[in-house]
Structure 1
Amino acid sequence: MTANDNTVNIKPRSARYHHGDLRAALIEEGLSQIAQLPAEKVSLREIARQAGVSATAVYRHFPDKAALFGALCEAGDEKLSAAFRTAMDETDGGVEAFEAMGRAYVRFALTNPSLFRLMMTNAPQAHVMDPDESMDGGAFAMLAETLRDLMPEDTPQDLRLTRRIQAWSVVHGLAMLMLDGQVPADDALISRIVCSSFL
Structure 2
Amino acid sequence: MTRERTYHHGDLRRALLTAALDVIAQEGPDALSLRDLARRAGVSHAAPAHHFKDRTGLLTAVAAEGYALFADALAAAPDLQERGVAYVRFATRHPAHFQVMFRPELYRADDTALLTARSHATEALRAGVGDLPEAARGEDAGLAGVAAWSLAHGFATLLLTGNLSGALEGRTPETAFRSLTGLLFARRDGTDG
Relative to the length of structure 1, the TM-score reads: 0.68
Which of these residues, 149, 152, 165, is aligned with residue 171 of structure 1? 152
Q: Distance in 1 between matches of 2:145 and 2:56?
A: 29
Q: Judge conservation of contact 1:144–1:164 (CA < 8 Å) in 2.
A: yes
Structure 2 CA distance for partners of 1:67 and 1:164, relative to 1, 3 Å: same
C-alpha contact (below 8 Å) 2:71/2:121 kept by paired residues: yes
Residue of structure 1 equivalent to 2:85: 103
* Inter-CA distance 190–37: structure 2 relative to 1 (3 Å threshold): same
TM-score scaled by structure 2? 0.70
- Does the alignment pair 1:181 with 2:162? yes
68, 72, 77: which is aligned to 2:62?
72
Match of 2:142 among 161, 178, 185: 161
Which amino acid counterpart does residue 185 of structure 2 have in structure 1?
Answer: S
Higher RCO, 1 vs 2 (CA within 8 Å, ≥6 residues apart) = 2
Question: Are the equivalent residues in 1 in contact too, given 2:19–2:37 (CA < 8 A)?
Answer: yes
Give the Å deviation of 1:49: 2.1
Deviation at 1:136, TM superposition (A): 6.9
In the alignment, is residue 197 of structure 1 matched against residue 182 of structure 2? no
1:110-129 aligned within 5 A: 110-122=92-104, 124=109
Q: Distance in 2 between matches of 1:163 and 1:41?
A: 36
Between the aligned residues of both structures, percent identity stands at 30
Q: Secondary structure at the match of 2:27?
A: coil
Report the counterpart of residue 142 of structure 1 in structure 2: 124
Query: Using the alignment, how far apart are the partners of 2:123 and 2:19 within structure 1?
Result: 27
| Worse-matched range after superposition: 56-65 or 142-151 | 142-151
Alpha-carbon distance change, 107 to 27 in structure 1, aligned in 2, over 3 angstroms: same
Q: Give the gaps of 5 or more residues in structure 2.
A: 111-116, 187-191
| Separation in structure 2 between the aligned mates of residue 41 and residue 48 of structure 1, nearest angstrom | 14
Letter in 2 for 1:142: A
Q: Which runs of 5+ in 1 are unaligned?
A: 9-16, 126-134
Name the CA distance, whole Å, in 1 between partners of 2:98 and 2:153: 10
- How well do the aligned residues superpose, as a CA RMSD in angstroms? 3.2
